[in-house]
Amino acid sequence: MADPNAFIINTTYTPIPDGPHRDGAPEILRRPVKETLMVFTGLIMLGFFMALIISDKAPSTYHIHAQGSVGNGNGSSFDTSKDEVKPSDTLQPVSRGSSAGVSEKSNRVFGGVGGRAYPWNNSVLSWQRTAFHFQPEKNWMNGPLFYKGWYHIFYQYNPKAAIWGNIVWGHAVSRDLIHWLHLPLAMVADQWYDINGVWTGSATILPNGRIVMLYTGSTNESVQVQNLAFPADHNDPLLINWVKYSGNPVLFPPAGIDSKDFRDPTTAWHTIDGKWRLTIGSKINDTGIALVYDTKDFINYELLGSILHGVHGTGMWECVDFYPVSKTGKNGLDTSDNGSGVKHVVKASLDDDRHDYYALGTYDEKTGKWVPDEANIDVGIGIRYDYGIFYASKTFYDQDKQRRVLWGWIGESDSEAADVKKGWASLQGIPRTVLLDTKTGSNLLQWPVEEVQSLRLSSKKFEKVQVKPGSVVPLAVGPATQLDIIAEFELDKEGLKRTAEANVEFSCSTSGGAAQRGALGPFGLLVLADDGLSEQTPVYFYIAKGTDGNLKTFFCTDQSRSSAASDVNKRIYGSFLPVLKGENLSLRILVDHSIVESFGQGGRSCITARVYPTKAIYGDARVFLFNNATETTVTASLEIWQMSSALIHPFPGEKGTQ
């Protein structure tokens, strides 16, 4: 526990005089008198950012060779070691972000030959742009709020280049979280207290319906401070114009906190004594912490003597999120909700490893402290929102549909040179609803918002397809770069019984991927695969049978053969997946060009992958079922939808998004 005396506010930092300022404090800054709706607008700060013609008759079967690779009997297999890639320009990425006190923002070369980039061409790079995920038309970006019938997303954006830097607030609106209209920039770095970047912020909607926005600014001396802004016109449902409070900054780093370790204020929640409470991420040495502040007017703040929570060894906590989930209900909860039927979630984005971790626990409003249900799965050492590329996420309460919605920033995992060449980098994941998994009681369920289904076009069903050990089955689905896949798998019960027990530890990330054969796995789907399977991205289950006879299930995504390119991420992602007695294995996959989002067992575990195939694109992309197990036959039932593109429009009168 941190020393409370270390949190006495010390404003030894002396700001320089700034230029002309937007005057006027908001009228709404007064003590609230009733329960409120609070909605997050997390400006997400860190991070990094044709038809397949196959007969409808019985599908062809591919076979798995003894060494574990998959081929079609004609010499093609998973093994791409014979493919010689000719490197082009040498890459020397410039470090970005670290000097400002945030995580590294340069895309590094993954597996490049001699540090050289793959020779991307415009056709391949054009294919990588997604069709139904939100992203700006160009350059670099890095959450949302519901107001007067519109969903708003404010996002960190570099209007000058497809790399991190020159951070301002982009702004877009939507009626359904799918189709978007870009608006003019909401805020730019034009004051001494945010001249080095308008960073993460969160909004709170007050009882009178008005909005206050707190955000982190990086000052002219790279000190992280908290600032206040509000809409210029609360009657404008699009919230186009914003005004910065003339008394900014409203919060400086307290004593004991480094000037570059004080960022990302949360949405505020209402306390029983009529105050607003919020948290801000920080660290003390290598202990990640969430500071707690109370305020009555969003101008004057009281730092509580204790932190909300902290975990030793987790480093800087960025983009902290704090919200309630119902123990019994199927609806989301307002941020202020509390009581015996509620658990509270604390989530932190770890600056050290760029992953988002959460834990469930109990919140004591009197002390301002939160305690995890299980210490061994605490924040930063336990469960992650997503086991792939997913960072700086935030939730907001959608009061219109009574749901809590999660957004995550999805960075790139190719080279920075490729980002510059294609002219854009990073995007937002599909928004997800978040609920407590009442069956396990120990994890959350994340699922794509229902509006995604409005993009579904024609579908094909495959019922009770038997996939024998060591085989691959092509699925005739037509174009395979924009898909929504729902699948369920049953294992041969006799195979389960005869499988020998083994004291073998398994990990998705350290295994040999989909090519490593075991008695009960891997099995699942190959997406974004070419005919010869030289490129493919497996999404799969692996089951280990312990010496006690119990089964342990893992959910994985293998990028090791996703691309012939040499300068992209080819890691294997995944985690343990809770599967209860009597449940069949199920998954959902959203494929949208260079992003593959996978949800296992109703969203108990999620994996987001960025993949950059060079062959399995346009009309050459395929989908296959596969079973690389040695002891069991798998029976799969699937429905696969073609997906339409979302409509993302520029602001009227503007040539581009910004």
**Which stretches within 2-106 are classed as H helix?**
none
Task: Estimate the share of the chain in helix, then strand, then coil, as percent rounded to the nearest 5.
Answer: 5, 40, 55
Buried b (16+ CB within 10 A) or exposed e, 105-134: bbbebbebeebbbbebeeebbebbbbebbb
Q: Where are the domains of the chain?
A: 188-405+431-448, 457-643
As a whole number of angstroms, the distance between CA 514 and CA 524 comes to 9
Q: Residue 6 carries which DSSP code?
A: G
If you search the block for the tokens 């912490």, which residue do you land on? 289
220, 226, 227, 230 alpha-carbon torsion, rounded to 10°: 150
Residue 371 to residue 511: CA distance in whole angstroms: 34
Handedness of CA 595, 599, 603, 609 (dihedral sign): negative
- Residue-wise burial string across 557-585, b where 16 or more C-beta atoms lie within 10 A, e elsewhere: bbbbbbbbbbbbbbbbbbbbbbbeeeeeb
- Domain 457-643: give its CATH architecture: Sandwich (2.60)
User: How far from the centroid of its chain's Cα atoms is residue 135's Cα?
Assistant: 14
Distances from the Cα of 497 to the Cαs of 520, 545, 626, in angstroms?
11, 10, 22
Exposed, middle or buried, 77 (CB in 10 Å: 0-12/13-18/19+)? buried
> Is the fold of 188-405+431-448 the same as that of 457-643?
no
Give pLDDT, residue 100.
61
Token pair 């992953």 is found at 355
Amino acid at position 443, single letter: N
Specify the CATH architecture of the domain 188-405+431-448.
Answer: 5 Propeller (2.115)
Beta bridge partners of 396: 405
Separation CA 191–CA 202 (nearest Å): 19
Could you give the CA distance from residue 608 to residue 588 in angstroms, rounded to a whole number?
Answer: 12
C-alpha 388: how far from chain center: 8
Task: Supply the pLDDT for residue 293.
Answer: 98
Burial of 543 (0-12, 13-18, 19+ CB in 10 A): buried
Q: Are 449 and 126 contacting, i.e. CB atoms less than 8 angstroms apart? A: no
Residues paired with residue 232 on neighbouring β-strands, in sequence order:
none
Q: Please state, in angstroms and rounded to a whole number, the distance separating the CA atoms of residues 536 and 527.
A: 6
- Single-letter amino acid, residue 181: L
Q: CA dist 124 to 121, 313, 554, 564, Å?
A: 6, 42, 33, 12
CA-to-CA distance for 295 and 319, rounded, in angstroms?
20
In a 3-state reduction of DSSP, which class is residue 482? strand
And the tokens for 48? Answer: 């990094």
Rounded mean pLDDT for each run of 10 residues along the chain, 658 residues in total: 33 34 41 34 36 38 42 36 37 56 54 67 95 78 81 86 74 96 94 94 92 95 97 97 98 97 96 96 98 98 97 97 96 95 97 96 96 97 97 95 96 89 90 97 97 98 97 97 98 82 82 93 97 97 87 96 94 96 96 98 98 97 97 96 96 60
pLDDT at 5: 33
- Model pLDDT, residue 99: 59
Dist CA 96 CA 161 (whole Å): 13
Rounded Cα distance, 427 and 314, in Å: 26
pLDDT for 141: 46
